[in-house]
Each structure stands twice: as structure tokens, then as C-alpha cells.
Structure 1
Amino acid sequence: MSPAIFIDALQDELQSIKYGQDPPELYDPIQYIMSLGGKRMRPLLTLLGAYLFTDDWKKAIRPALGVEVFHNFTLMHDDIMDRAPLRRGQPTVHEKWNGNVAILSGDVMLVNAYQLLLNVEADKLAPALARFSRTAAEVCEGQQMDMNFETRWDVSEAEYIDMIRLKTSVLLGYALELGGLIGGADDETNRQLYEGGMNIGIGFQLKDDLLDVYGDPIKFGKQVGGDIIANKKTFLLIEALAQAKGTIRDELIDWLTRTEFSKPEKVSAVTAIYDQLGIRQLTETRINEYFTRGFTNFDQVNADYDRKMLLIQFARQLVERES
């Protein structure tokens, strides 16, 4: 079995979903953001999780897309809060329509996510919805923490890891757990799947932080150094602030507090500070720690070896990604 089969099945079903028609100002933005593509990583994890335990993995497709619709709902609202002009190279919904439309369309997307999750079999529906509701609240908690960090310069590594766990990783964990639940796995197995997905998710976000500074701009697909320009509290900046002393700290604070600067010069200077402090190596160590934890979780899942290797190979692609 190839991951391409799962991806094709997701795409086929995604094209058939009807979110609603009237008024078009409410539903067109949903169709628009869902058509912009993306890695479809979360629904793919759900299908891989289901396939571990059942040949009837197609029954997980619509619930898996419920996770993807929810993910895109969070992106639509995040773009409003960030005043982001582009999403995947195209105008964001609030730019193409307006902020009020984006808020309301996002609200309907959340409703649609629940509707898609209702396709879970009746005997598994209650735990699937309960876990999803808790996960959805945690994603919002993580987003609020991220916004709180914007005005703080004392964010600790532990706080940052907890924030990305909530904002990004719990949904990856839930996606995989949902697949296991649909496939008929027991509670302990689903716990390992959830923990594995969450650990892989933390490593994935730390890798994103790293690529924003050290990635190849062609492969990365967006501006390298964007987080530095915006003074975004990433793992790298938090560690640099914690470790920098003397003149190095003075230089870092100077760049962080300047209101006028050359963007390329700032990126170059702050990257040089990271290099002096060994921040790249520290970040790579943390990334490997979380990916290793995730693979350890997967090793403890009692499932067919070949099917489990399909999941592990997909996770390894996340480890090795350059974009």
C-alpha cells in the first residue's frame, strides 16, 4: 500500500463535500480555503492510523476530513489575528472578502467539522467527539498563549513547548488517535498513537522554527528569516535570550528593539548570534529528542509490521523535510 492511495482517496472525497450554498458569501470562502491545498498531513495520519487495524480504512475518510476542515478553520481565524495577507501564496479569506466574512465562514467550518465527524460509527462516536472537543479547546488555548507571548520577553523553553504542544501537536495526536479508534484499537494503543502523534508534532514545529532561519528559501517555499524580522518568539529566539550574555546579549536586544532596520541585515546579524550561541545545534537536538519519543511510541503499538512501517516512513519524511 502506498500513501498516494490514501491521499488520492482524501482528495476525491474532499472534492465531493458540499459545505452549503446560500448565501454564497458564507460558503464560497470555505470552498476557497479548502481548495488552496496543503500537506493534508492530519487526515492522512487518521487514515494511516485506521489502516493499522482494519482493511476498511475508507470508513475513516470523512471523519479524517473533519479534522482537516477544523485545521483550516483555525488557519482562517489565525490569518485574521495575524493580519496575514497571503495563505499558501494566495490572498487570505479576510483579504479576498473581509474580516467579518472570514469570522463567520470560519464558524461554519467548525460546524462542518463536527458534521463530518458524525460519520464515525455509533459505538465509537461519543469518545471521538469528546476527544475532539477537548482537542479543539486546547488548540485555542495554545493560540492564546502564542498571542500572550508577543508582549513578553521572559518566555521559557518549557512554556514554549507547552504552547506548540497545544496549538499544533495535540491535533496531530488526535488525528492519529481517531484513526486508531475507528480501526478498533484498544485504549492503550490509542494512547500510544496520540502520544506518538503529539511528539512528532512538537518535533515538526521545532523543525519549522529551524527552517525559517536555516532553510533553503527555494525548498522552504517562503521567506527565510521572517520570524527574525517579526521578532517572533520561536524556540531559537527564546534559547538565545536565555543564553546570551554581555556584548552578545546587548547586540541581540538592540536588534530586537530597533524600529527601523534593513531586513537582510537584521536576519544576517541575528543568525550570526544564533551561530555564536550554538542555537542551531541545540534546536536540532530537541527536534531529534521529540521525533525519537514519537518513534518509541509507535514501536509500542501492537499492529502489523508492514502497516506500521507505512506510518513510520511517513513520520520520517516529516523528520527529513526541508520545506
Structure 2
Amino acid sequence: MTEKSLAHALLIKLEDHITSHSFGESPLELYDPISYIMSLGGKRIRPLLSLLAYGLYSKNPEEILNQACAVEVFHNFTLMHDDIMDQAPLRRGKATVHEKWNANTAILSGDVMLVRAYDLLLGTAPSLLPEVLRLFNKTAVEVCEGQQFDMNFENRETVHEAEYLNMIQLKTAVLLGHALQLGAILAGAEKEDGQRLYDFGVNIGVGFQLKDDLLDVFADQAKFGKQVGGDIISNKKTFLLIKALELAEEKDADDLNYWLSQREFDKTEKVNAVRTLYEKLGIKSLTESKMEYYFKTGFEQLEAIHFTSQEYYNALQSLTQDLIHREK
């Protein structure tokens, strides 16, 4: 079986497991939104990482489908609540839960999803359950911390590079690391390997977010799948904007601040003007260098693990490389 066919076969099993799982039946107004957001798809990267990490050390990753899906349910719970906070109208091209129903329903349904995530972890062997719950709780708190930092940054004039990198590590990357570490723990891997896989996931996760920042500005519109320059239009404090504000001087600084201060503007004009400033300041290459640093650091951690299945190791590498080189 090739690396891609192995990951694809696991993905099919994940989808079947998620589709067949009942989160509850009555009242429908509570449970329909859960089924809805879970049916919107997505790449299912996090549970897939858990299954691949498990397969590095033990056979039959299907045995931990519940635990892998717990990570995905938790992830979608955070998306449901984040969409309310961001007042986002769309999620994966479809109406968000609070738009399709209402905010109160989305809050309550999200709360149930968190509880159901714990339910899915309860089949873990008693000897491993305390550690699994402790690490899950730690990760869940960190994701919330990252979201709060992100909201704090909206109202701050200055955000430093280190603060931003810490925020995206908490909000996005730690859950990728946890997904890998969870699979390793459940497979009985050595603690050091579990930690290396966690560090691999965190570094790769930070790199992925920097890639997203970069694609939002410099992607090919035909391939990107959404409006290029959305972060520029909304003045979102991404790595690119933070570095531009740090490096711009005199007229460049004046021009950048002009566009940041405008409340009414032509979107295309603003995107083109700010992108031109980024290019002049070398922001694209700076972002690529930072991104590559995190990817390189992550793969150094992966290369240091001791595994028993070359097939699963190759599949994990292939999946990660595909994500690194994506164009949307």
C-alpha cells in the first residue's frame, strides 16, 4: 500500500466512524447543529495524525477511532464557538451554526460537543486514561488561551512577533501536537517519542499558520478558493503585517498606516497597495524563512523518533509534505 493510499484508507474509516456516531437525539435543536458542523467535512488532519502516530508503534489503528474522533469533535467545538466570537457567516462555504440557527443554540450545542469529546476518550485503558485526560485538558486550556490572545490583539495597536508566534502555537499548533502524542501514548510508545511527536506537530502547526498568512496575501486566486487579501482588508494582525509595521520607515510607514486607518476603501486597491508594500519590504521572504525554520525544526523531531512501521512513518511524512506544499 502506498503512503497516500494508507492515509486515504484511514480517512475513509474516520469518516464512516464520524457519520455513524450518534451525539444524541432529543431535542433536535440541540443535536442537529452538532451533526451539521461535523458533516461539513474538512481535511480531518488531527484525527488522521492520531491514527498515523498509533500505527508507528502498534497494529490496527482502528482500535482508537473513538479517541481520534475526540480530537476532531473538540476541534469542531472550538470552531463553532470561534465563529460566534468572530461573527463569521460562513464555515467551509456553508452557513455557520449561529447563522443557520442562533448564537444561543451554537453555544449550547458546542458545550455538548465538549462533553461528547470526553465520552469518546473514556474507552481508553484504565492505566492510560489519567494521562490521556490530563494532556487533553492541558491542550484544551491552551487553545482557549490562544483564542483569548487573538481577541486581545484586535484591540492593540502593537503586537510583537514573539507574542503572535506564541498565540498561533496555542490557538492552532498545540492541538496538532496533541493529536500525534495521543496516538503514540495509546500505542504504548516511549515517552520520549511521544514528546518528539508532540514537538513535531507543534512546529509544523506554527509553520502551517504562517503558510496560511502567506497564502492569504500571495496565493493564486484561481487556486486559493477564497478571496485573496482577506487579512489585509480586515487589518488582521498576521505575521506579515506585524513585520511590515516593524520594518516600514518614513513614506512606507505613512502609506501602511494610511491604509490601516481607512474605514471606507476599494478592497482591490487596498490589497494591491499593501501587497506592494510587503514586496518592497521583503515581507514575503521573511515569512518564508520563518516558516521554513519551523518546518525544519519539526522534521528534525520526527527524524529522531524510534518507530516500528516504516509504512506509517512514510505516510505521516507524505501527509505533512502535502500540507506544506499546498496552494490553498
1:131-150 to 2 correspondence within 5 Å?
A: 131-150=135-154
1:100-179 to 2 correspondence within 5 Å?
A: 100-179=104-183
Aligned to 2:47: 43
Q: Residue deviations 1:206-261, cap 9 Å, x none?
A: 00000000112232211110000000000000000000000000000000001110
Aligned to 1:77: 81
Which residue identity lines up with residue 79 of structure 1 in the other structure?
D
Provide the C-alpha distance between the structure 1 equivalents of 2:123 and 2:98, rounded to a whole number of angstroms.
31
The alignment's TM-score, normalised by the length of structure 2, stands at 0.97
SS at match of 1:27: helix
- For this pair of structures, how many residues does the alignment match? 323
User: 194-203 or 212-221: which moved more?
Assistant: 212-221
Aligned to 1:321: 326
User: 236-245 or 300-309: which moved more?
Assistant: 300-309
Would you say 1:210 and 2:251 are equivalent positions?
no
Give the deviation of 1:309 after TM superposition.
1.7
SS at match of 2:264: coil
Would you say 1:3 and 2:7 are equivalent positions?
yes
Provide the C-alpha distance between the structure 2 equivalents of 1:278 and 1:156, rounded to a whole number of angstroms.
18
SS at match of 2:127: helix
Q: 1:312 aligns with which of 317, 321, 325?
A: 317
Give the deviation of 1:307 after TM superposition.
2.4
Provide the C-alpha distance between the structure 1 equivalents of 2:242 and 2:274, rounded to a whole number of angstroms.
13
1:91-102 to 2 correspondence within 5 Å?
A: 91-102=95-106
Aligned to 1:261: 265
Provide the C-alpha distance between the structure 2 equivalents of 1:23 and 1:69, rounded to a whole number of angstroms.
19
Provide the C-alpha distance between the structure 2 equivalents of 1:233 and 1:48, rounded to a whole number of angstroms.
34
Give the deviation of 1:167 after TM superposition.
0.1
Which residue identity lines up with residue 271 of structure 1 in the other structure?
R
CA RMSD, 1 decimal: 0.8
Q: Residue deviations 1:83-106, cap 9 Å, x none?
A: 000101110000000000000000
- Percent identity at matched positions? 56
Provide the C-alpha distance between the structure 1 equivalents of 2:243 and 2:168, rounded to a whole number of angstroms.
15
Which residue identity lines up with residue 124 of structure 1 in the other structure?
L
Provide the C-alpha distance between the structure 2 equivalents of 1:17 and 1:208, rounded to a whole number of angstroms.
31
Which residue identity lines up with residue 61 of structure 1 in the other structure?
L
Give the deviation of 1:137 after TM superposition.
0.3
Provide the C-alpha distance between the structure 2 equivalents of 1:79 and 1:73, rounded to a whole number of angstroms.
10
Provide the C-alpha distance between the structure 1 equivalents of 2:81 and 2:285, rounded to a whole number of angstroms.
34
Which residue identity lines up with residue 183 of structure 2 in the other structure?
G
Give the deviation of 1:123 after TM superposition.
1.5
Would you say 1:186 and 2:190 are equivalent positions?
yes
Provide the C-alpha distance between the structure 2 equivalents of 1:125 and 1:207, rounded to a whole number of angstroms.
35
Provide the C-alpha distance between the structure 1 equivalents of 2:202 and 2:85, rounded to a whole number of angstroms.
25
Q: Residue deviations 1:271-293, cap 9 Å, x none?
A: 00000000000101111110111
Which residue identity lines up with residue 190 of structure 1 in the other structure?
G
1:266-277 to 2 correspondence within 5 Å?
A: 266-277=270-281
Any unmatched runs of 5+ in structure 2? none
Q: Which has the higher contact order (CA 8 A, sep 6+)?
A: 2
1:119–1:220: structure 2 CA closer, same or farther, 3 Å change rule? Answer: farther
Provide the C-alpha distance between the structure 1 equivalents of 2:42 and 2:224, rounded to a whole number of angstroms.
14
Provide the C-alpha distance between the structure 2 equivalents of 1:55 and 1:168, rounded to a whole number of angstroms.
29
